[in-house]
Structure 1
Amino acid sequence: MSKKLYIETLGCAMNERDSAHIIAELEEKESYALTNNPKEADLILINTCSVREKPEKKLFSEIGQYAKVKKQDAKIGVCGCTASHLGDEILKRSKSVDFVLGARNVSKISQIIHQKRVAWVDIDYDDSTYVFSQNHHSALKGMINISIGCDKKCTYCIVPHTRGNEISIPADLILQEAKRFVDSGTKEILLLGQNVNNYGRRFSSPHRAINFTQLLHEISQIDGLERIRFTSPHPLHMDDDFILEFAKNPKICKAIHMPLQSGSSEILKKMKRGYSKEWFLNRVEKMRSLIPQLSIGTDIIVGFPTESEEDFLETLDVLEKVRFDTVYSFIYSSRPHTEAHYWLEEDKVHLVDEEIAKERLNRLKDRHKEILAEDNAKQIGKIHQVLIESFDMQNLFLEGRSDTNKLVRIKDKESFVGSLCDVRITEVKGAQLIGKLA
């Protein structure tokens, strides 16, 4: 009988893709089968996130819970960014953990499971040319890593410490993987990287010159591929060539995630983001002039050290001007190994009062909810092209995402899963659009 694997994935899409690689490697090389029940698993893996403090604190609680329910001989492994960050400390703090595997060492999963009480967390390890085992489960959507690591030095971010320097994955490997996805029935591909539009800056072996704009164009030439998405582009690298390809290529979905972080140019400078409020708004204006229906999402940090009320009002001003479709907003969380953490430790700057930060976050969220309601109401009567992803046979409705990444629900008696359908919007419920086939 196959051994059973249970895996919990915390954090971003990069972690989701790493988990998919881990599953495929263990299925093919170690004869594991996936289970949703940790009690029957022979191997329990926690793929962790360390971007903020809360998920990291949650880790040891999760380990304790799994240790209570696991089978007697089952192993527990910790993977991902917190694994990279804490390394041996996880083994010292929890006797229940058998091994620790860093985010940069995913390709070693089939080796480390045979080890006992070890931590492999080399952030300089290069597996950019490693060909992972293939997941043979067909899916409408597929995710592909196009780079690993990050070269940016944002003063709040721990990712360069956990995922190492940025290396681009060879274009031929990316194209091969995309073709395999499409051959197995995938209609939409999501390209992943810490800064996807910095692609091509560095390869670990000789490689033809190619940038992200050119990569997008080459992937779009694959027959049978209907949609391309990507996350996350860095506003600094959104040049005019990229914007034109993004606007004119019909296979590229007209939704983009642009991490703002702050609307204050002064705070952006302290964050070492490399762009100003004016540059960000200029890029938005350029894209919207070419794509009026463009959907824009963003990330915002509230309460970054020294943020004043005036700085926060600059962020609200960008929110009003751009009217983001999605906003992932958080109160600043100090992370070890970052420049801002050092400032705080050395008393070089002050941390924004927690109650003030909470109040600002609530104001931001409340205003965004109002904007979302106002803009979604304008969608009634409009037609969206939707990739149908699921069919609820009991309640008779279809669900999918529009080209602009809106969640759309359609009342219908037939399943059109896998089809691209035109849908006329008839109703709005929160962030969800409801419609009927046009």
Structure 2
Amino acid sequence: MKLYIETLGCAMNMRDSEHMIAELKTKEGYTLTEDAKEADLILINTCSVREKPERKLFSEIGQFALIKKPHAKIGICGCTASHMGEEIIKKAPSVNFVLGARNISKISEVIHRDKAVEVGVDYDDSTYVFDTAGNIGIKALLNISIGCDKRCAYCIVPHTRGKEISIPLDLILSEAEKLAQNGVKELMLLGQNVNNYGVRFSSNHKMINFAGLLREISKIEGIKRIRFTSPHPLHMDDEFLEEFASNPKICKCIHMPLQSGSSKILKSMRRGYTKEWYLNRVAKLKSLVPHVGIGTDIIVAFPGESEEDFAHTMDVLESVQFDTMYSFIYSPRPHTESYQWGKESIVSKEVASKRLAILQDKHKTILRDKAKKEIGHLHEVLIENIKHGEDSFSEGRSDTGKLIKIPQEVLKIGDIVNVQISQNEGGSLIGRCIK
């Protein structure tokens, strides 16, 4: 039996797909295929954050229905599955089952129930121990919580993934130990708001916060690097930032979703912090780790955004000098607060597109300038990719998140080496090993 899976969206969805693959391999005997035409089971792990996700979903269902084998099943999983439920089967009879993002532990059950719909967001699988797939590699994703308690006005995640529950510490450490024994050197901890870890468990559990969790994971032999996504600026207290700075296993790269630089818009978004708080946390972080790499998310043209509000966002961009930035024009989503707001607050497409272009152009300039300043700097790099032959090279990421290429050097995947930057090509960093 062969499984084809298409994963859309965030790292959380990638981890959910890994869990489903492992469950289907060990419990049902499936093997993966990259050709949907030869699959016995086709899974689409959906994302509701994408633009026009429902329209694209039904288009993809139609394409798979045309090419699949007669007996092959189609299953729709993830966030769009959560909020549409049985409506998917009504609109697309070729779909055999629907499995919500909060229900993926049921995958080996629902494949045997035709037209099954399991989308309850109150279902708790925070203590479920998933099976593990075979060869993992040197990097792995690891969930530390499920769901989200925030009520950001633009976000559908609480509606699709339910309330926030932290995964018990012993299960996290057990999984991390297992991954380390299988050769994993770098862990990426996942949660909608990772630094809110420990606020709620579904069973009796000793009190522990995110800083404490980081300390415990860093004790595991074999784990050389710890990353996490995404922390919420509201919960970036001094204890968290000081642990981030002082723990040698924590990569000095952090994603801090800004969304807007305007305190007025942030309040409208229900983000819980102000521009001043955000900049204060960045200043504290840079005082502790001057070379820290900072990434962010920005939504342009949120309802009610004025030119002055947008100027505040540009001000934060200029002040922080983000190393990575995911930027989008606001897109309304059903089941969100902002979806109900009147048309008078909507920013025109023309203005929105202009603002996005200004933002992205400025960020490109910042990145070019920062790349020039990297010449001569030393970075610790985990080798993730190698190429043999005439144009041989090794490639990996620094602990600050920078992708660095090392020409004419073929190292081993998993090596951690010191690299000095010798040149940059259009913002791409190139260096040489320093023994």
TM-score normalised according to structure 1 size? 0.97
AA in 1 matched with 2:413: V
Say if 2:286 and 2:292, in contact at 8 Å, map to a contact too. Answer: yes
**DSSP-derived class of the 2:278 partner:** helix
Residue of structure 2 in register with 1:301 after alignment: 299
Mapping 1:125-140, distance limit 5 Å = 125-140=123-138
3-state SS in 2 of match to 1:104: coil
Q: What is residue 348 of structure 2 aligned with on the other side? A: 353
Give the superposition deviation at 1:54: 3.0
2:360 alignment counterpart: 365
Deviation string 1:118-176 (CA, Å, 9 cap, x unpaired) is 21100000000000001221310011100000000100000000000000000100000
Q: Is residue 120 of structure 1 aligned with residue 115 of structure 2? A: no
Secondary structure in structure 2 of the residue aligned to 1:53:
coil
* 1:15–1:431 CA distance, 2 compared to 1 (3 A): farther
Give a deviation string over 1:310-353, Cα, whole Å, max 9, x none: 00000000000000001100000101111111123xx5x51001
C-alpha distance in structure 2 between counterparts of 1:372 and 1:212, whole Å: 31
Structure 2 distance, partners of 1:26, 1:38, is: 16
Taking structure 1 as reference, are residues 406 and 413 closer, same or farther at Cα in structure 2, changes over 3 Å only? closer
Of residues 356, 377, 393 in structure 2, which corresponds to 1:382? 377
State yes or no: 1:404 paired with 2:378. no
Aligned pairs (5 A) from 1:415-426: 415-426=411-422
Consecutive unaligned residues of structure 1, counting only runs of 5 or more, are: none
Name the structure 2 match of 1:332: 330
How far off its partner does 1:413 sit? 4.3
> Residues 252 and 289 of structure 2 are in contact (CA less than 8 Å); yes or no, is this contact kept in structure 1?
yes
Bigger drift between 53-62 and 18-27 goes to 53-62
1:97 to 95, 100, 105: 95
| Contact 1:388–1:420 (Cα < 8 Å) also in 2 | yes
1:61 alignment partner, one of 59, 62, 72 = 59
Cα distance in 2 for residues equivalent to 1:95 and 1:45: 15
Q: 1:52 offset after TM fit, Å?
A: 3.4
Q: Which moved more, 1:381-390 or 1:51-60?
A: 51-60
Query: Secondary structure at 1:298's aligned position in 2?
Result: strand
Worse-superposed segment, 253-262 or 421-430:
421-430
Q: Which residue of 1 aligns with 2:161?
A: 163
Quote the residue 1:29 is aligned against. 27
SS in 2 for 1:204: coil
Structure 1: how far apart are the matches of 2:114 and 2:8? 24
- Are the counterparts in 1 of residues 387 and 410 from structure 2 also a CA contact under 8 Å? no
Contact 1:306 1:352 in 2 (8 A): yes
Question: How many correspondences in the alignment?
Answer: 433
1:280 corresponds in structure 2 to 278
Match of 1:43 in 2: 41
CA contact (8 A) 1:48 1:56 kept: no
Which one-letter code corresponds to 2:122 in the other structure?
Answer: D
Displacement of 1:412: 2.5
Partner residue of 1:212? 210
Aligned to 1:12: 10
After TM superposition, the runs of 4+ consecutive aligned structure 1 residues lying more than 4 A away are none
- By how many angstroms is 1:304 displaced? 0.4
Q: Could you tell me how far apart the structure 1 residues matched to 2:57 and 2:372 are? A: 41
1:252 match: 250
Three-state SS of the structure 1 residue aligned to 2:87 is helix
- What is the distance in 2 between the residues matched to 1:339 and 1:45? 30
Q: Hey, what's the Cα distance between the residues in 2 that align with 1:414 and 1:343?
A: 56
Q: Which runs of 5+ in 2 are unaligned?
A: none
1:5 maps to a residue whose letter is L
Conserved? CA contact 2:299–2:329, under 8 Å = yes
Aligned partners of 1:332 and 1:73: how far apart in 2? 41
Cα gap change, 1:430 to 1:85, in 2 (>3 Å)? farther
Match of 2:142 in 1: 144
Aligned to 1:200: 198
SS in 1 for 2:52: helix
Q: Deviations over 1:390-418 (max 9, x none)?
A: 11114311111110011111112433211
Letter in 2 for 1:152: K
Q: 1:52 aligns with which of 28, 50, 53?
A: 50
Query: 2:196 is aligned with what amino acid?
Result: N
Partner Cα distance (1:75, 1:427) in 2: 51
Q: Normalization by structure 2: what TM-score? A: 0.98
Per-residue deviation at 1:431? 4.2
